[in-house]
C-alpha cells in the first residue's frame, strides 16, 4: 500500500467564519457549484490573529465544519486551515487542522548565513540566465547577481517555513496535512523570477507544498475590490503559473501545486483575469476569502430589521469610536477614507435598506460605501465583545443571514472565478 497523501484538488475555496455560525451556509455555495458540475473543495481558514481577537479556539472551527458536512451530506473532501501560522503559533492548531499556511512574510529580508547563500547559488546554476517557460512568450531572465540578491532576501524565510513544516510533520505524520507557504503580508510584490527561486528553495527544504501565496502587484485590501492594473495582474499571474509548472518538473514538487490568492474576496475586477489564466493553462486555484462572511451576518441582521438592525447600527457606532484601535492590526490591508464615514447619529436614522446598500458590495449601487464596509470588516471585535447577545441574534435570524452568506459566496465569488460568469 502506498502511503496515503492528503491532496488538495484543482479548485478550492478558502472561507472564513469568524463566529463559527455560517459553515452550513458557506458549504451550500459549494453544493450549488457541484450541482452545476464543478467540484470546489471548501477550506475553513482562521488565523491565530482572528482566534485571539475573538477569543475562540481552532476546535470550534473544526466542529462547525464537521457539523455542516454531516448535516448537508457533503461527500467530497474539506479542510481546516491554520492560516498564517509560525513556529510560535502553530501548537494550538495541531489537533484540529489538516491544512497549514506557513507564513514567512516577517522573515523576508532577514539575512541567511553567507555559506547557505553560496551553497544555494552553486546548487542552482540552472537558475541564472534565460529560462524558457512553457506556455508564455516571454522568458524569465535572472542574472548571477539577481540570483544572489534573491537568495539573500528569501533563504532565511524559507528556512523558517522548513522549521515549522518539520514541526507539524513530526506531530501529524507526513502526508496527513496540506502545506501552503504564504508571503502575501509584506510590502513588496514578488516577481515570477522570485517565485521560481523561492520554489527551488522550498524544494531544497523538503516541503511538499501544494499551494503557494505570493504577494501580487496591486492592492489587495480586505473586503473591497482590487486596486491596480488588471491587465498587468493577468500577465503576472500567467508567468507565475508557468513558473510553478516549471518548478514542479525541475524540482519534483507535488504535481497539484497551485497558486493561492489571499485576501481573495471581492476582487471583482481581476476575477475575469484569474478565470482566463486557469482556462489558458488548465490549472486550478485556491481562492482564499476570509472575513466577509461576517459582513453578510451584519447585512442579514440589518435586513431583518428590529433588534437585528439596531444591533448592526450599534456595531457601527462602536467601531467608529474605536476606529484607530480596530484598524491598527490591519493597517497594510485597508484603505479607509475617514471623510466618507457617516456619523453614528446619521446611521442611527437609517432604514434596513440604507444600511444594507451601504454595506453590500455592489459597486454600481450609488449607496455602496467602501470606507463604511472596510471599517465594519475590521470591526468584528465589537461583535465578539457582545458575546451571547450577538450570537443569539445570529441564531434567531439564521435563515435571512444564511441566504446572504450563500448568495455572496456563490454569485459574487464562485460564479465569476470558477465559472467565468460576469457578476
Compare residues 50 and 184 and give the one whose CB is closer to Zn ion: 184
- Nearest distance from residue 184's CB to Zn ion, in Å? 5
Compare residues 193 and 261 and give the one whose CB is closer to Zn ion: 261
- Nearest distance from residue 123's CB to Zn ion, in Å? 30
Measured from the Cβ of residue 317, the count of other Cβ atoms closer than 10 Å reads 15
- Nearest distance from residue 250's CB to Zn ion, in Å? 27
- Nearest distance from residue 88's CB to Zn ion, in Å? 17
C-alpha cell at 67: 457539523
Compare residues 182 and 406 and give the one whose CB is closer to Zn ion: 182
Q: Which chain residues interact with Zn ion by CB under 5 A? A: 184, 262
Per-residue burial over 42-71, b if 16 or more Cβ lie within 10 Å, else e, is bbbbbbbebbebbebebebbbebbeebbee
- Nearest distance from residue 156's CB to Zn ion, in Å? 20
Compare residues 16 and 300 and give the one whose CB is closer to Zn ion: 16
Residue carrying C-alpha cell 460605501? 369
Distance, CA of 273 to chain centre = 17
Compare residues 273 and 333 and give the one whose CB is closer to Zn ion: 333
DSSP 179: E
- For Zn ion, the nearest residue by Cβ is 262
108: three-class secondary structure by DSSP: coil
Compare residues 62 and 222 and give the one whose CB is closer to Zn ion: 222
Give me the torsion for CA of 180, 84, 33, 283, rounded to 10°. -30
The span from the CA of 373 to the CA of 360, in Å, is 8
- Nearest distance from residue 84's CB to Zn ion, in Å? 6
Q: Are 254 and 209 in contact (CB under 8 A)?
A: yes
The span from the CA of 109 to the CA of 372, in Å, is 35
Q: Are 163 and 88 in contact (CB under 8 A)?
A: no
Compare residues 262 and 413 and give the one whose CB is closer to Zn ion: 262
Q: Are 155 and 117 in contact (CB under 8 A)?
A: yes
- Nearest distance from residue 182's CB to Zn ion, in Å? 5
Among residues 302, 280, 315, 191, the alpha carbon closest in space to that of 243 is found at 191
Amino acid at each position: 500500500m502506498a502511503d496515503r497523501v492528503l491532496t488538495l484538488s484543482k479548485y478550492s475555496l478558502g472561507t472564513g467564519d469568524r463566529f463559527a455560525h455560517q459553515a452550513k451556509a458557506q458549504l451550500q455555495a459549494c453544493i450549488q457549484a457541484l450541482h452545476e458540475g464543478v467540484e470546489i473543495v471548501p477550506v475553513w481558514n482562521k488565523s491565530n490573529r482572528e482566534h485571539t481577537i475573538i477569543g475562540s479556539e481552532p476546535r470550534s472551527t473544526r466542529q462547525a465544519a464537521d457539523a455542516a458536512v454531516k448535516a448537508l451530506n457533503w461527500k467530497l473532501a474539506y479542510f481546516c486551515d491554520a492560516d498564517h501560522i509560525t513556529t510560535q503559533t502553530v501548537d494550538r492548531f495541531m489537533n484540529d487542522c489538516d491544512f497549514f499556511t506557513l507564513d514567512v512574510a516577517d522573515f523576508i529580508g532577514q539575512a541567511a548565513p553567507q555559506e547557505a547563500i553560496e551553497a544555494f547559488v552553486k546548487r542552482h546554476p540552472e537558475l541564472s540566465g534565460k529560462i524558457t517557460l512553457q506556455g508564455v512568450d516571454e522568458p524569465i531572465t535572472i542574472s548571477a547577481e539577481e540570483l544572489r540578491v534573491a537568495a539573500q532576501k528569501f533563504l532565511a524565510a524559507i528556512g523558517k517555513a522548513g522549521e515549522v513544516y518539520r514541526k507539524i510533520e513530526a506531530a501529524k505524520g507526513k502526508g496527513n496535512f496540506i502545506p501552503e507557504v504564504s508571503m502575501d503580508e509584506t510590502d513588496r510584490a514578488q516577481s515570477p523570477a522570485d517565485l521560481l527561486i523561492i520554489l527551488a528553495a522550498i524544494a531544497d527544504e523538503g516541503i511538499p507544498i501544494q499551494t503557494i501565496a505570493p504577494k501580487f502587484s496591486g492592492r489587495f485590501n480586505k473586503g473591497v475590490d482590487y486596486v491596480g492594473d488588471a491587465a498587468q495582474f493577468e500577465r503576472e499571474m500567467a508567468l507565475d503559473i508557468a513558473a510553478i509548472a516549471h518548478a514542479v518538473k525541475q524540482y519534483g514538487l507535488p504535481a497539484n501545486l497551485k497558486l493561492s490568492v489571499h485576501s481573495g474576496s471581492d476582487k471583482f475586477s481581476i476575477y475575469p483575469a484569474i478565470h482566463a489564466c486557469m482556462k489558458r493553462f488548465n490549472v486550478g486555484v485556491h481562492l482564499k476569502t476570509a472575513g466577509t462572511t461576517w459582513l453578510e451576518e451584519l447585512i442579514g441582521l440589518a435586513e431583518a430589521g428590529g433588534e437585528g438592525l439596531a444591533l448592526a447600527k450599534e456595531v457601527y457606532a462602536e467601531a467608529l469610536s474605536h476606529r484607530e484601535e480596530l484598524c491598527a492590526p490591519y493597517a497594510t490591508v485597508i484603505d479607509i477614507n475617514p471623510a466618507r464615514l457617516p456619523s453614528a447619529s446619521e446611521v442611527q436614522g437609517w432604514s434596513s435598506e440604507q444600511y444594507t446598500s451601504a454595506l453590500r458590495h455592489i459597486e454600481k449601487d450609488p449607496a455602496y460605501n467602501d470606507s463604511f464596509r472596510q471599517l465594519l470588516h475590521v470591526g468584528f471585535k465589537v461583535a465578539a465583545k457582545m458575546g451571547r447577545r450577538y450570537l443569539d441574534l445570529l441564531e434567531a435570524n439564521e435563515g435571512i443571514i444564511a441566504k446572504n452568506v450563500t448568495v455572496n459566496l456563490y454569485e459574487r465569488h464562485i460564479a465569476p472565478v470558477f465559472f467565468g460568469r460576469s457578476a
